[in-house]
């Protein structure tokens, strides 16, 4: 007897899979042992065993650098010499307006200060930046102190590391940067430079003054680091910070925001134009623009035009293909019923009985699953970040199953970001599609009017497999555009900072003799002239729609 029941449907799928695989990918036909699936759970090891692809994800070869909490700044660290890596690719640096002469000398990155033990394993390179780059070098501190939000740190790190003349240092807490195998990914997204990581315990003005401080967990980072951040601000550092849950930013006394203290801390700097709010999705941008003048008490003084950063990056060097043999849809994330409405999805699933299984890829205790579909709902638990992304990348559809309206009104869903990261289409209704209007509708599975999520999922399960692959390819295309948009945005931020550094240096030098020219207006005088006017909360024109 066959190991599994070979239904006509399976036969169609397998033939389809072979054709698609042969024609499109010329990769070995995936084979899929079913034992792990039949048991209803995956452990990370059985996941690896059941992955039939010949593709070896990059992190399996990567030296884990951030494997423990030992990376931190030490005063005396060696800096072994070695040849510089290839110049990082830059977007549009040629397209910039001609930079003002004279060019500063080619900047050189000194070795990041790390412990000897780590230095032995991973010799740190002296990175010489491309001499063609005429910008002043820019120092950026990327801070994320809580253990979460590393999926947002990664794309921002990628963008900063891709820019010429930018020296980026990640400041984080050990509970975050050692978690779930994120270390090798951080290292990968730092390329072509080695990851420069400073533990939160060493936050102090001694680290130097960054030109830009980017906070990926805004109020939480302030709680831990406000004394040093104040010093940096006074020294002229610009800050960008992500508002993840702006509904919690109502700092008025009746607003009861748990972050009222941190928000009041930001306000004077926001009013000065030195502190900028950024967001992760268009609907959040609208919410911030509408509510922050009252929430933060800045009234008409500040106009919030929070630029949208896309919290997406490439999960793998080679994008993962749908598992055609054992196809599944996925609901990612912790099994928390207040975030996702599992009951609704399970009930619909039991009614529709789609041909494709559902994987709950996350962590937590078993949920209540109706008896009739228990063998169709599969728990895939406790994966590392790379395993998580790899598994989700094989799914036919990603189902947000929102259990709260917040994800459509004022909060960017990490499920949406994850779908883009792994290149899997989201299954959404028109309301969700509208909130995430930066994702074109043809890169999603759209519920038809009157359909439930699982009605649509059922329809998808009967589509010819080449349509699954085509939709997935479209998601990948959109994702790559977003990564380029991030880069473009931060490129313009860096250019702006570089310009103002240059002009302020020049105007300082010129105060004795000649009058400063108009174009060489110092940042200080620019700020002073703005003091009584409306401030756009926007460091640079946004490159992202
Ligand atoms: C959780 O569900 C799986 C599959 O449905 C089952 O094998 C396992 O025994 C369950 N665990 C508990 C603690 O109920
Ligand atoms: C890059 O930034 C780190 C952290 O501030 C610093 O130790 C290092 O010296 C910087 N390198 C350059 C060339 O500025
Ligand atoms: C600043 O840090 C201290 C601890 O050092 C903390 O008690 C305080 O609440 C913080 N202030 C803000 C505005 O977060
Ligand atoms: C789409 O789903 C969201 C979240 O489940 C829900 O709030 C909204 O009303 C739905 N919209 C439509 C048109 O069904
Ligand atoms: C650069 O930033 C400053 C201050 O945030 C702003 O006033 C200025 O308009 C920006 N310049 C450009 C070219 O965007």
User: Quick one: DSSP state of residue 402?
Assistant: B
Q: Write out 60-77 in H/E/C secondary structure.
A: HCCCCCCCCCCCCCCCCC
Please, what sign has the CA dihedral across residues 153, 159, 162, 168? Answer: negative
User: To test the ligand 5 pocket, which listed residue (306, 534, 540) has its Cβ within 8 A of the most ligand atoms?
Assistant: 540
pLDDT at 379: 97
Q: Which ligand has an atom closest to residue 262 CA?
A: 3
pLDDT at 29: 35
- φ, ψ dihedrals at 544, nearest 5°: -115, 130
pLDDT at 13: 54
Is the Cβ–Cβ distance between 466 and 20 less than 8 Å?
yes
8-61+315-482 and 108-313+485-509 in the same fold:
yes
Q: Which ligand has an atom closest to residue 265 CA?
A: 3
Q: Write out 329-372 in H/E/C secondary structure.
A: EEEECCCCCCCECHHHHHHHHHHHCCCCEEEEEECCCCCCCCHH
For the chain, the domains span 8-61+315-482, 108-313+485-509
Cα-to-centroid distance, 90 and ligand 2 (Å): 20
pLDDT at 136: 64
Between 1.10.600, 1.10.3470, 3.40.50, 3.30.420, what CATH number should domain 108-313+485-509 receive?
Answer: 3.40.50
State the number of CA atoms in the 13 A half-sphere of 129 facing the CB: 23
Is the Cβ–Cβ distance between 432 and 399 less than 8 Å?
no
**The pTM of the whole model exceeds 0.75:** no
Cβ of residue 404 lying under 6 Å from some atom of ligand 4: no
Q: Which two tokens stand for residue 166?
A: 């930018």
Cα-to-centroid distance, 273 and ligand 2 (Å): 26
Cβ of residue 349 lying under 6 Å from some atom of ligand 4: no
Q: In what order do the strands lie in the sheet with 166-172?
A: 197-199, 166-172, 138-144, 212-215, 238-242, 275-278
Q: How far apart are CA 385 and CA 189, in angstroms?
A: 14
One DSSP character per residue, 116-175 reads HHHHHHSPPP-EEPPTT--SPPEEEEEEE-SSS-HHHHHHHHHHHHHSTTEEEEEEE-HH
Closest residue by CA, ligand 5 atom 6:
539
Q: Nearest CA to 184 among 327, 316, 52?
A: 316
Q: Which ligand has an atom closest to residue 431 CA?
A: 4
Return the number of other C-beta atoms located less than 10 Å from residue 61's C-beta: 8
Q: Which atom of ligand 3 is nearest to the CA of 226?
A: 1
Q: For residue 8, give the 3-state DSSP assignment.
A: helix
Return the number of other C-beta atoms located less than 10 Å from residue 247's C-beta: 16
Cα-to-centroid distance, 91 and ligand 4 (Å): 38
> In the chain, how many H helices and how many E strands?
18, 17
Helix, strand, coil percentages for the chain (3-state, nearest 5)? 45, 15, 45
Residue 516 CA from chain centroid, whole number: 41
pLDDT at 505: 64
Q: How far apart are CA 428 and CA 217, in angstroms?
A: 27
Q: Given the DSSP bridges, would you call strands 275-278 and 302-304 parallel, antiparallel or unpaired?
A: unpaired
> pLDDT tens string for the chain (545 positions)?
444 444 455 544 544 444 443 444 443 333 333 333 233 332 222 222 222 222 222 222 232 333 222 232 222 333 333 333 333 333 333 333 333 444 433 333 322 333 333 333 333 333 334 434 455 689 999 999 999 999 999 999 999 999 988 999 999 999 999 888 899 999 999 999 999 999 999 999 999 999 999 999 999 999 999 999 999 999 999 999 999 999 999 999 888 899 999 999 999 999 999 999 999 999 999 999 999 999 999 999 999 999 999 999 999 888 889 999 999 999 999 999 988 999 999 999 999 999 899 999 999 999 999 999 999 999 999 999 899 999 999 999 999 999 989 999 999 999 999 999 999 999 999 999 999 999 999 999 999 999 999 999 999 999 999 999 999 999 999 999 999 999 999 999 999 998 888 776 655 544 443 333 333 334 434 443 444 456 777 643 333 33
Cα-to-centroid distance, 16 and ligand 2 (Å): 54
Fold for 8-61+315-482, please state it: Rossmann fold (3.40.50)
pLDDT at 321: 92
């Amino acid at each position: 007897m066959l190991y599994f029941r070979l239904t006509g449907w399976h036969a169609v799928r397998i033939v389809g899979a072979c054709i698609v695989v042969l024609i499109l990918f010329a990769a070995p036909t995936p084979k899929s042992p079913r034992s792990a699936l039949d048991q209803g759970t995956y452990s990370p090891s059985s996941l690896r065993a059941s992955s039939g692809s010949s593709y070896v994800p990059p992190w399996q070869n990567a030296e884990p650098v951030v494997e423990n909490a030992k990376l931190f700044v030490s005063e005396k660290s060696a800096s072994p010499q070695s040849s510089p890596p290839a110049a990082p690719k830059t977007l549009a640096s040629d397209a910039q307006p001609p930079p003002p002469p004279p060019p500063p000398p080619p900047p050189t990155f000194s070795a990041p200060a790390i412990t000897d033990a780590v230095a032995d394993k991973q010799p740190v390179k002296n990175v010489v930046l491309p001499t063609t780059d005429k910008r002043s070098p820019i120092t950026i501190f990327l801070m994320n102190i809580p253990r979460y939000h590393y999926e947002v740190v990664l794309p921002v790190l990628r963008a900063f590391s891709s820019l010429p003349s930018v020296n980026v240092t990640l400041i984080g807490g050990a509970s975050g940067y050692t978690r779930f195998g994120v270390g090798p990914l951080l290292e990968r997204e730092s390329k072509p430079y080695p990851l420069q990581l400073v533990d939160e315990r060493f936050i102090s003005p001694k680290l130097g003054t960054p030109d830009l401080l980017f906070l990926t967990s805004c109020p939480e980072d302030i709680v831990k680091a406000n004394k040093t951040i104040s010093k940096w601000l006074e020294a002229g550092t610009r800050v960008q910070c992500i508002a993840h849950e702006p509904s919690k930013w109502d700092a008025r006394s009746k607003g009861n925001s748990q972050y009222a203290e941190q928000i009041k801390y930001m306000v004077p700097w926001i009013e000065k134009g030195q502190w900028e709010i950024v967001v992760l999705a268009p609907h959040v941008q609208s919410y911030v623009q509408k509510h922050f003048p009252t929430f933060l008490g800045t009234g008409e003084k500040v106009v919030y035009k929070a630029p949208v950063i896309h919290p997406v990056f490439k999960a793998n060097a080679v994008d993962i293909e749908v598992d055609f043999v054992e196809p599944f849809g996925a609901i990612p994330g912790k099994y928390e019923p207040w975030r996702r409405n599992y009951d609704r999805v399970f009930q619909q699933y039991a009614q529709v009985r789609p041909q494709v299984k559902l994987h709950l890829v996350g962590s937590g205790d078993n949920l209540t699953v109706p008896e009739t579909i228990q063998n169709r709902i599969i728990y895939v638990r406790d994966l590392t970040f790379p395993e998580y992304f790899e598994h989700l990348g094989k799914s036919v559809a990603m189902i947000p199953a929102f259990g709260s309206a917040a994800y459509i009104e004022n909060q960017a869903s990490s499920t949406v970001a994850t779908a883009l990261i792994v290149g899997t289409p989201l299954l959404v209704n028109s309301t969700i599609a509208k909130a995430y209007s930066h994702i074109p509708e043809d890169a999603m599975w759209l519920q038809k009017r009157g359909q439930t999520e699982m009605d649509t999922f059922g329809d998808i399960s009967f589509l010819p497999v080449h349509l699954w692959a085509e939709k997935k390819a479209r998601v990948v295309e959109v994702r790559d555009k977003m990564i380029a948009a991030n880069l473009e945005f931060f490129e313009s931020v860096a250019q702006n900072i570089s310009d103002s550094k240059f002009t302020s240096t020049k105007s300082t030098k010129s105060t004795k003799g000649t009058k400063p020219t108009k174009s060489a207006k110092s940042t200080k005088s620019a700020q002073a002239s703005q003091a009584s006017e409306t401030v756009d909360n926007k460091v640079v024109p946004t490159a992202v729609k």
